[in-house]
């Protein structure tokens, strides 16, 4: 794909340790047209003609999700979304897709909250390239209630506030190399 001094790099952040053979056979010739391929983990490497590099995911310390936020600012963001602060918060922030297992989060929360009362907040959005996302969102909305709050918003300041106030932040990904939301929460 190079033209002159330009270089094209194909970056893949998803788990390709066992790709669907037909899908990979279709995609690989296109990837081989790049100058290099970057994967998150060596386990995701594939037989390619181009050089492969491995770069672990990282957070942007200057993004709104990671900026310093006072308790007052955090409270204001939570209030804007109607999130109660009377019980510990359990938070998962991320896309509403099957690989983030939002229903599994709800099921686990229902079991755990029998022992320790808390409020669950699932905050996220659907990805434009995920045709199943809207259906997943609609499905989990049926679990929404007083102590299970589901928010569809692309609001990094809300995520920041939630992660700062949460007693527990989780990322119940079923198939992901490393969820950056875990690093952001730390």
What CATH code is carried by the domain that includes residue 92?
3.40.50.2000
Same domain, 118 and 139: yes
Mean pLDDT value across the chain: 90
Full residue range of the structural domain in which residue 24 is found: 9-54
What's the pLDDT score for residue 111? 96
Residue 91, pLDDT score: 97
Q: Are residues 20 and 73 in the same domain?
A: no
Residues 43 and 119 in one domain: no
In a domain, 4, yes or no: no
> Residues 44-83, buried b or exposed e (16+ Cβ, 10 A)?
bebeeebebeeeeeeeeeeeebbeebeeeebeebbeeeeb
Claim to verify: residue 86 and residue 122 sit in the same structural domain: yes
* Per-residue model confidence (pLDDT) at position 5: 82
Indicate the number of domains in the chain: 2
pTM for this prediction: 0.75
pLDDT of residue 59: 82
Residue 1, domain member (yes or no): no
Do 68 and 48 belong together in one domain?
A: no
């Amino acid at each position: 794909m190079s033209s002159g001094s330009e270089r094209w790099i194909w970056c893949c952040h998803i788990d390709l340790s066992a790709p669907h053979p037909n899908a990979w056979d279709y995609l690989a010739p296109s990837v081989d047209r790049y100058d290099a391929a970057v994967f998150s983990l060596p386990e995701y490497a594939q037989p390619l003609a181009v050089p492969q590099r491995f770069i672990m995911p990282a957070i942007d310390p200057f993004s709104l999700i990671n900026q310093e936020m006072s308790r007052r600012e955090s409270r204001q963001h939570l209030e804007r979304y109607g999130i109660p602060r009377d019980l510990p918060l359990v938070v998962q922030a991320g896309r509403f897709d099957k690989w983030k297992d939002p229903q599994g989060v709800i099921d686990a929360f229902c079991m755990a909250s029998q022992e320790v009362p808390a409020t669950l907040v699932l905050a996220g959005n659907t990805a434009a390239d995920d045709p199943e996302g809207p259906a997943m969102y609609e499905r989990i909305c049926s679990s929404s209630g007083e102590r299970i709050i589901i928010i569809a918003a692309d609001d990094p300041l809300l995520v920041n506030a939630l992660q700062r106030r949460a007693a527990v932040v989780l990322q119940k990904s079923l198939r992901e190399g490393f969820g950056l939301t875990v690093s952001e929460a730390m």
